[in-house]
């Protein structure tokens, strides 16, 4: 079939070659952005006297018809027209006649595709920012209920020191807060207009780039026409921010999976976010959490794919860059889906506070309390550590915990131990006493929740 750019060609490619080169199977996702970009472009062509008022009106009305059809998914795309830009141009010409061919005056697909993707990402990133905020809101609500629920805190996945469950949840709140900041910050770069850069060198037509930028709601425009059509770092940044977000979600999922196990039993996923086994009737698997953890891999993959695509491409546009799209679409879908599922999972999960609290009493994670006890009475911490280490060993040999060891044994280890050590050994007390700034003490945790709520109210 004759191509819209077919003038200098004497032969046409076979269908299977066209198929390899075409992006329409996936860039049709950009249809609305593409038409909106074209409406702004043709409006500007009219304002600048480059096209007559009459032509502009015809083109605008044709584009609006296509936009309506696009929204109702009534457009039929064809591989023969390669990509979304040429498909729309062809449809426009079919709709309003040869005047449709004037739309592409002073423009190239290179600035056009870049514009489409900036518009696309602006919308999706704003949606993602809102979804992160919803997740943070749910986290704060959960945290408020569990300030005084205590759980073992871990390092190296070994019991370390007991902490407030709310404090643990709020650790993720702040990770997501940084994610939200990163996405918000990236909007500054996403919201710049490449339109009017032409193929790479600008155009001889007296266009007004400022006007198209304003019509499309951009905050400004690319300074350099070559950069405008060559830049894909706004997408790489999106993929990178998405990878970091997914990494946070994935770590949280890993904990939920562990906590749902028979060994922990700290939480139970709601039935609506778990699945059964086709063979083992007793099973209830935290599939959704596993799947988010798994999907993190594809987002990392998308980031690395695009970094690799771009690393060897000379300025300006190269067809390699068509490879920027599928990973971007896939990441938007993956991140959006993961956030929604994850928020639902957290909101509905059952927290087994009794099991958590019981766990804090069946370990040596209160050993630091004893070392601190001696250190507070003037024993150099290093010596205190040694003394308590020996006491732990004694307990292990006797098969008991520190709270079960009689005072006489403590006295033997150090005269400074008094009856009040048993209160210090209580995990609840141990948690509540840690009120250094940002610590797990209940007063600090409540303060942190207050700050978090304020942050959510502000932005």
One DSSP character per residue, 42-109 reads HHHHHHTTSS-HHHHHHHHHHHHHHHHHHHTT-----GGG-SHHHHHHHHHHHHH-GGGGGTTTT--H
Rounded Cα–Cα distance for residues 167 and 146 (Å): 9
Phi, psi for 182 (deg, rounded to 5): -60, -45
Bridge partners of residue 193, in order along the sequence: 221
In whole angstroms, the minimum distance from the beta carbon of 125 to ligand ARG comes to: 20
Segment contacting ligand ARG (CB under 6 A): 107-115, 149-157, 171-179, 382-390?
A: 107-115
Which pair of tokens denotes residue 143?
């945290």
In whole angstroms, the minimum distance from the beta carbon of 228 to ligand ARG comes to: 13
Asked if residue 38 lies in contact with residue 100, where contact means CB atoms within 8 angstroms, the answer is no
- Out of 121, 163, 321, 384, which residue is the one contacting ligand ARG (CB under 6 A)? 321
Segment contacting ligand ARG (CB under 6 A): 215-223, 313-321, 340-348, 366-374?
A: 313-321
Q: Is 151 helix (H, G, I), strand (E, B) or coil?
A: strand
User: Nearer Cβ to ligand ARG, position 317 or 410?
Assistant: 317
Rounded Cα–Cα distance for residues 27 and 61 (Å): 23
In whole angstroms, the minimum distance from the beta carbon of 41 to ligand ARG comes to: 15
Rounded Cα–Cα distance for residues 253 and 170 (Å): 15
Q: Is 316 in the site for ligand ARG (CB under 6 A)?
A: no
Asked if residue 167 lies in contact with residue 437, where contact means CB atoms within 8 angstroms, the answer is no
User: Nearer Cβ to ligand ARG, position 203 or 322?
Assistant: 322
User: Nearer Cβ to ligand ARG, position 112 or 360?
Assistant: 112
Size of the site for ligand ARG (CB under 6 A): 10
Q: Is 207 helix (H, G, I), strand (E, B) or coil?
A: coil
Contacts 24+ apart (CB under 8 A), 175-178: 175/248, 176/132, 176/135, 176/136, 176/139, 176/245, 176/248, 177/136, 177/452, 177/455
Segment contacting ligand ARG (CB under 6 A): 266-274, 318-326, 358-366, 394-402?
A: 318-326
Asked if residue 364 lies in contact with residue 152, where contact means CB atoms within 8 angstroms, the answer is no
User: Nearer Cβ to ligand ARG, position 27 or 369?
Assistant: 27
Of the residues 118, 156, 261, 338, only one is catalytic, namely 156
User: Nearer Cβ to ligand ARG, position 321 or 345?
Assistant: 321
Q: 277 an active-site residue?
A: yes
- Out of 34, 83, 330, 444, which residue is the one contacting ligand ARG (CB under 6 A)? 83
In whole angstroms, the minimum distance from the beta carbon of 124 to ligand ARG comes to: 17
Could you count the other beta carbons within 10 Å of the beta carbon of residue 363?
Answer: 16
H runs (alpha helix) in 162-232: 165-190, 209-215, 225-230
Q: 168 an active-site residue?
A: no
- The site map against ligand ARG for 277-306 (x = CB under 6 A) is ------------------------------
Residues across the chain: 459
In whole angstroms, the minimum distance from the beta carbon of 322 to ligand ARG comes to: 4
Q: What ranges make up the beta strands (E) of 257-364?
A: 267-268, 350-351
- The site map against ligand ARG for 359-398 (x = CB under 6 A) is ----------------------------------------
Asked if residue 131 lies in contact with residue 339, where contact means CB atoms within 8 angstroms, the answer is yes
Q: Name the maximum alpha-carbon separation found in the chain.
A: 101
- Out of 322, 334, 366, 440, which residue is the one contacting ligand ARG (CB under 6 A)? 322
Segment contacting ligand ARG (CB under 6 A): 45-53, 106-114, 257-265, 388-396?
A: 106-114
Compute the C-alpha angle 57/60/64, nearest 5°: 140
- Out of 103, 113, 195, 448, which residue is the one contacting ligand ARG (CB under 6 A)? 113
Of the residues 242, 248, 277, 436, only one is catalytic, namely 277
In whole angstroms, the minimum distance from the beta carbon of 12 to ligand ARG comes to: 16
Site for ligand ARG in 6-25 (CB under 6 A): 23
Q: Is 381 helix (H, G, I), strand (E, B) or coil?
A: helix
User: Nearer Cβ to ligand ARG, position 113 or 452?
Assistant: 113
User: Nearer Cβ to ligand ARG, position 114 or 335?
Assistant: 114
- Out of 81, 120, 300, 317, which residue is the one contacting ligand ARG (CB under 6 A)? 317
User: Nearer Cβ to ligand ARG, position 28 or 133?
Assistant: 28
In whole angstroms, the minimum distance from the beta carbon of 43 to ligand ARG comes to: 22
User: Nearer Cβ to ligand ARG, position 23 or 338?
Assistant: 23
Q: Where is 163: in which H helix or E strand?
A: strand 158-164
Contacts 24+ apart (CB under 8 A), 331-337: 331/238, 331/239, 331/242, 331/299, 331/302, 332/124, 332/128, 334/242, 334/246, 334/295, 334/298, 334/299, 335/128, 335/242, 335/245, 335/246, 335/299, 336/124, 336/127, 336/128, 336/131, 337/295
- Out of 38, 43, 87, 110, which residue is the one contacting ligand ARG (CB under 6 A)? 110
Q: Which residues bind ligand ARG (CB under 6 A)?
A: 23, 27, 83, 109-110, 113, 317, 319, 321-322
* Residues recognised as catalytic: 156, 277
């Amino acid at each position: 079939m004759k191509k819209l750019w077919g003038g200098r060609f004497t032969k046409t490619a076979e269908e299977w070659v066209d198929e390899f080169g075409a992006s329409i199977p996936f860039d049709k996702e950009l249809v609305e952005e593409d038409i909106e970009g074209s409406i702004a472009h043709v409006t500007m062509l009219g304002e600048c006297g480059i096209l007559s008022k009459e032509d502009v009106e015809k083109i605008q009305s044709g584009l609006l018809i296509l936009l309506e059809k696009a929204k109702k998914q009534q457009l039929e795309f064809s591989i023969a027209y390669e990509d979304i830009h040429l498909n729309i141009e062809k449809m426009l010409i079919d709709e309003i006649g040869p005047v449709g061919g004037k739309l592409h005056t002073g423009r190239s697909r290179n600035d056009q595709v870049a514009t489409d993707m900036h518009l696309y990402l602006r919308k999706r990133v704003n949606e993602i920012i809102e979804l992160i905020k919803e997740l943070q809101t749910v986290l704060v609500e959960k945290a408020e209920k569990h300030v005084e629920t205590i759980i073992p805190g871990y390092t190296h996945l070994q019991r370390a020191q007991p902490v407030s469950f709310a404090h643990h949840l709020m650790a993720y709140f702040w990770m997501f807060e940084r994610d939200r900041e990163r996405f918000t910050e990236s909007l500054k770069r996403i919201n710049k207009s490449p339109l009017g850069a032409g193929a790479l060198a600008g155009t001889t037509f007296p266009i007004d780039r400022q006007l198209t930028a304003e019509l499309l709601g951009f905050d400004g425009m690319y300074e350099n026409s070559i950069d405008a059509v060559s830049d894909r770092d706004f997408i790489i940044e999106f993929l990178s921010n998405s990878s970091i977000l997914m990494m946070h979600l994935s770590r949280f999922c890993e904990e939920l999976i562990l906590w749902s196990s028979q060994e922990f039993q700290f939480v139970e996923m709601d039935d609506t976010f778990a699945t059964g086994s086709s063979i083992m009737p007793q099973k209830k698997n935290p599939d959704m959490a596993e799947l988010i953890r798994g999907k993190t891999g594809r987002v990392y993959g998308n980031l690395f794919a695009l970094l690799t695509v771009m690393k060897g491409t000379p300025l300006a546009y190269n067809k390699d860059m068509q490879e920027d799209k599928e990973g971007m679409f896939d990441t938007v879908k993956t991140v959006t889906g993961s956030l929604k599922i994850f928020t639902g999972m957290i909101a509905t999960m059952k927290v087994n506070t009794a099991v958590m609290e019981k766990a804090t009493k069946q370990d040596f994670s209160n050993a630091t309390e004893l070392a601190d006890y001696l250190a507070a009475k003037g024993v150099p911490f290093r010596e205190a550590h040694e003394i308590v280490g020996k006491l732990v060993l004694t307990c292990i040999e006797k098969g008991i915990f520190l709270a079960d060891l009689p005072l006489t044994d403590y006295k033997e280890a150090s005269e400074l131990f008094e009856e009040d050590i048993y209160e210090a050994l209580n995990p609840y007390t141990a948690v509540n006493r840690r009120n250094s700034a940002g610590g797990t003490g209940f007063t600090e945790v409540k303060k942190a929740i207050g700050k978090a709520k304020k942050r959510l109210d502000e932005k």
